């Protein structure tokens, strides 16, 4: 860790095996809304977990963190286990009094190759994070900084935005919000995504070709 703090209050689980990079690249082709549609519109984080700047499209395996409200010791520890392309998913208990993530942690994330950060809690230093171009989804912003005492856990099942996230689950995020694809159904979800894409493409063509009466295409 880049900080000198005791870690005896932390629990660290094993890092799960991640799927092939090709799966991530394929999911990147589809918007998060469609990913949710392919899961019967379930596994979508609530709208309070929102993009903190226009951060584009991110897909990657979840590196999970559970931390006490207003404390980020476990987040620092999690970054010791980070691999390029990970999405850091943090349950900060929905805290709205103190930020648990700021510009210095963003610098560490970029150095570790983190693709995005998703927090059920608050951030600070938003302008600096936007300038760094690190995609972040969170409940909001506060200038109040965190403590570093713990307790917390890394690489364990968590809840974030009302959705269960297991280590290694595939996370899809864009301007609409965040979806979580359990690792054991990712192949089935991809199959449905392809079907949805074909259906929407054909329907869109019908609408555009119905110049006189677009509603007739429906």
Two structure tokens written together for 101: 């993530």
Q: Which CATH class is domain 10-183?
A: alpha beta
pLDDT at 149 over 90: yes
pLDDT value for 56: 78
> What whole-number distance in Å separates Cα of residue 3 and Cα of residue 49?
28
pLDDT value for 50: 96
Q: Residue 202 in contact with residue 212, Cβ under 8 Å?
A: no
Q: Residue 62 in contact with residue 182, Cβ under 8 Å?
A: no
Two structure tokens written together for 117: 């950060």
pLDDT tens for each residue of 106-135: 999 999 999 999 999 999 999 999 999 999
pLDDT value for 188: 96
Which backbone phi and psi does 63 adopt, to 5 degrees? -105, 105
Q: Nearest to residue 51, comparing CAs of 143, 127, 138, 117?
A: 138
pLDDT: which is higher, 180 or 4: 180
User: Domain limits of the chain?
Assistant: 10-183
Cα–chain center distance at 206: 35
Give the pLDDT mean for 1-19: 86
Q: Nearest to residue 122, comparing CAs of 106, 146, 105?
A: 146
pLDDT at 62 over 60: yes
pLDDT value for 213: 65
pLDDT tens for each residue of 64-107: 999 999 999 999 999 999 999 999 999 999 999 999 999 999 99
pLDDT tens for each residue of 157-216: 999 999 999 999 999 999 999 999 999 999 999 999 999 999 999 898 888 888 656 555
> What whole-number distance in Å separates Cα of residue 199 and Cα of residue 137?
30
> What whole-number distance in Å separates Cα of residue 90 and Cα of residue 88?
6
pLDDT value for 217: 52
- Relative to beta strand 136-138, strand 116-120 is parallel
> What whole-number distance in Å separates Cα of residue 50 and Cα of residue 19?
26
């Amino acid at each position: 860790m880049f900080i000198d703090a005791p870690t005896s209050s932390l629990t660290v689980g094993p890092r799960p095996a991640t799927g092939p990079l090709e799966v991530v690249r394929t999911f990147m082709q589809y918007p998060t809304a469609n990913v949710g549609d392919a899961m019967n519109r379930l596994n979508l984080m609530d709208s309070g977990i929102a993009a903190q700047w226009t951060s584009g499209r991110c897909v990657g395996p979840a590196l999970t963190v559970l931390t006490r409200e207003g404390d980020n010791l476990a987040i620092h520890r999690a970054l010791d286990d980070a691999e390029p392309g990970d999405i850091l998913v943090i349950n900060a208990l929905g805290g709205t009094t103190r930020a648990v993530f700021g510009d210095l942690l963003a610098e560490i994330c970029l150095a570790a190759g983190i693709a995005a950060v998703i927090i059920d809690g608050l951030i600070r230093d938003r302008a600096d994070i936007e300038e760094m171009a690190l995609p972040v989804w969170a409940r909001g912003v506060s200038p109040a900084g965190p403590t570093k005492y713990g307790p917390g856990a890394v690489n364990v099942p968590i809840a974030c935005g009302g959705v269960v996230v297991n280590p290694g689950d595939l996370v899809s995020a864009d301007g609409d919000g965040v979806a979580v694809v359990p690792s054991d159904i990712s192949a089935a979800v991809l199959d449905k995504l392809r079907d949805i894409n074909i259906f929407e493409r054909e329907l869109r063509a019908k609408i555009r070709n119905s110049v006189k009466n677009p509603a007739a295409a429906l």
